[in-house]
Amino acid sequence: MSGDDNKIIVNYTSNFKVTKLGLYDFTFYDLINRNAQIFRDLPAWYEVDEDHTLSFGEYKATVDRLAQGLRKAGIKKGDRLGVLGKNSSEFFLLYGAAAGLGAIVLPVNWRLSSEEVCFNLNDCAPSALFVDAEYQELIAANKTRLPSVTDYYNLKTDAGDFRPFSVLLGHSETFDPTIDPVATSDGYVIIHTAAVAGRPRGALLSHGNILCSDMHLIYLFGTTQHDVHLNLLPLFHIAGLVMVTSSFHAGALSLNMSKFDAARAVELIESRGAGIMFDFSPILAAILDEAEKTGQKIGALRGVLGLDTPETIERYQEMTGGMFYCMYGQTETSCLATLGRYSDRPGAAGKVIQLAEVCLVDEYDRPVEEGQVGEIVMKGPMVFKGYWNLPDENAHTFRDGWHHTGDLGRFDEQGFLWYAGRRAEKELIKPGGENVYPAEVEKVILAHPAVEKTVVFGIPDPKWKEAIKAVCQLKKGDNLEAAELIAFVGQRIARFKKPSFVEFTAELPMLKDGTPDRARIKELFGGSQK
């Protein structure tokens, strides 16, 4: 054991070492080492599509080989690793190897259009890009638009036309994390949020952010090494990421599905005893429908966290005896800010998590009284490091020492938070758990030569919880069908951002300043789905 330069190396066996890179630091790589020691032979990850399992010890050993291969390929601390692909063991291994190197993972939403994919990649300038075979044609056609990328790899080991993933695993040298020490506060992952004013922003999260989220989720579910997590959400989504890392943290097994399939999910709950999962509508409803149709037992599903309709939540609890947990959070708050049991206060978003302070303020950043609606502001170890390369936005977002979420809420007399929507300039629509800003959709609609003005907003939807609606005023003498406009939008941005409903009007109500009267438009057209 050596204390030189505040570095402590402890050899537990001759096969691997656990390295503490600072007296007060702890990273996701340190967690990998810790779990390889105490959960070595227990299963950490089961790849459903391939019927393949990685133990905690095997995960650590493969992460070290991958980290050494990436180092040999020129990846260093602070470099970004772009990933465009479905969930897989290779994807999760990249998270582990990046943690050891101090590299930053840049997962890209594979549902985005080619324009959006290129924007997100160029925004953060990755050195290497890992791509599933099904998205390699998109990337190959846009290589000239990605000047920062020097190496393209297949994400899956034996699938695709880019460099094999396996070439990074062939190094026999032992990976040494002390070459470039990584701190708890160092950046670990960049996840792009929905586009405000037409521009996505890359939220930089640290190792500490992710590990703190882990501990809150472990506390919520009471997760142990005996639990099984059904991993249904993509690893480019903050909820998908922290559900996997928290399960890993606790020594639990994650059953990974690369794509949601209700029949397979029900089978895994019954056969493997999957007990916890995250839900965005309509995932849970599809699982309940499948279980009722087939008669399979899903009583093992003891805990579900997420966002869904009261009808689905209550149906789940009645069918299984399990508990549904509600929440409020953002990517910028490492997924979480409040948590609670649905049955404690139906409709509320729970109470403030243990390691955070949440306050509600008015438009002048003054605290509001109990029961009044105000902007949700937060501070604590869950708050992200800031938006990538946006110093002015960071200064505004973090003013007065608080993270200003742009969301509105109110606290009741028992301390439960009730979500009350978005501030007008940051209005948000959430179809099926995805984030869509109206301004982004409006920008595309206004590019259509027949559209003069438009307002986009969310309306209730029984399947997706919220759907996108556009109300449009056409240019004089022009005609346009709703289906044609919907297809026009779907060709230019991610298809989940296109309107589900379009309504035309001769004239949109306007304010005195010449802008659309959004409140009046919602009042007139919000209840209609045409």
Query: Would you say residue 261 lies in a domain?
Result: no
Nearest partner of 282 among 306, 299, 301, judged by Cα: 306
Tell me phi and psi for residue 509, to 5 degrees: -60, 135
Q: What is the CATH number of the domain that holds 485?
A: 3.30.300.30
Please check whether residue 504 is in contact with residue 480, taking contact to mean a CB–CB distance below 8 angstroms: yes
Q: Tell me the residue type at 95.
A: Y
Looking at 180, 207, 234, the residue that finishes a domain is 207
Query: Would you say residue 377 lies in a domain?
Result: no
pLDDT for 1 equals: 33
Bridge partners of 386, per DSSP, are 204
Q: How confident is the model at residue 434 (pLDDT cuts 50, 70, 90)?
A: confident
Query: Would you say residue 329 lies in a domain?
Result: no
Residue 15 has pLDDT above 50, yes or no: no
DSSP 88-126: -HHHHHHHHHHHHHT-EEEE--TTS-HHHHHHHHHHH--
Please check whether residue 188 is in contact with residue 210, taking contact to mean a CB–CB distance below 8 angstroms: yes
Query: Would you say residue 347 lies in a domain?
Result: no
Please check whether residue 490 is in contact with residue 498, taking contact to mean a CB–CB distance below 8 angstroms: yes
Query: Would you say residue 360 lies in a domain?
Result: no
Please check whether residue 145 is in contact with residue 118, taking contact to mean a CB–CB distance below 8 angstroms: yes
Q: How confident is the model at residue 8 (pLDDT cuts 50, 70, 90)?
A: very low
Query: Would you say residue 193 lies in a domain?
Result: yes
Residue 206 has pLDDT above 50, yes or no: yes
pLDDT for 159 equals: 84
Query: Would you say residue 184 lies in a domain?
Result: yes
Expressed as residue numbers, the domain containing 478 is 427-525
442, 482, 504 from 507: Cα distances, Å: 16, 17, 9
Tell me phi and psi for residue 288, to 5 degrees: -65, -40
Residue 384 has pLDDT above 50, yes or no: yes
> Which of the pair, 412 or 493, is modelled with greater confidence?
412
pLDDT for 432 equals: 76
Question: What is d(CA 407, CA 196) in angstroms, rounded to the nearest whole number?
Answer: 13
pLDDT for 158 equals: 77
- 């890009």: which residue's tokens? 129
Model pLDDT for residues 93-143, shown as the tens digit of each residue = 999 999 999 999 999 999 999 999 999 999 999 999 999 999 999 999 999
SS3 content of the chain, % helix, strand, coil (to 5): 35, 25, 40
451-461 and 253-256 strand pairing: unpaired
Question: What is d(CA 520, CA 524) in angstroms, rounded to the nearest whole number?
Answer: 6
Question: What is d(CA 145, CA 155) in angstroms, rounded to the nearest whole number?
Answer: 20
49 contact partners, CB below 8 Å, separation of at least 6? 257, 258
pLDDT for 199 equals: 79
Query: Would you say residue 132 lies in a domain?
Result: yes
Candidate ranges 140-144, 457-461, 520-524; pick with highest mean pLDDT: 140-144
The DSSP output letter for 223 is -
Q: What is the CATH number of the domain that holds 106?
A: 3.40.50.12780
Question: What is d(CA 303, CA 322) in angstroms, rounded to the nearest whole number?
Answer: 6
Number of domains in the chain: 2
Looking at 174, 207, 240, the residue that finishes a domain is 207
Question: What is d(CA 376, CA 356) in angstroms, rounded to the nearest whole number?
Answer: 12
Residue 11 has pLDDT above 60, yes or no: no
Looking at 207, 222, 244, the residue that finishes a domain is 207
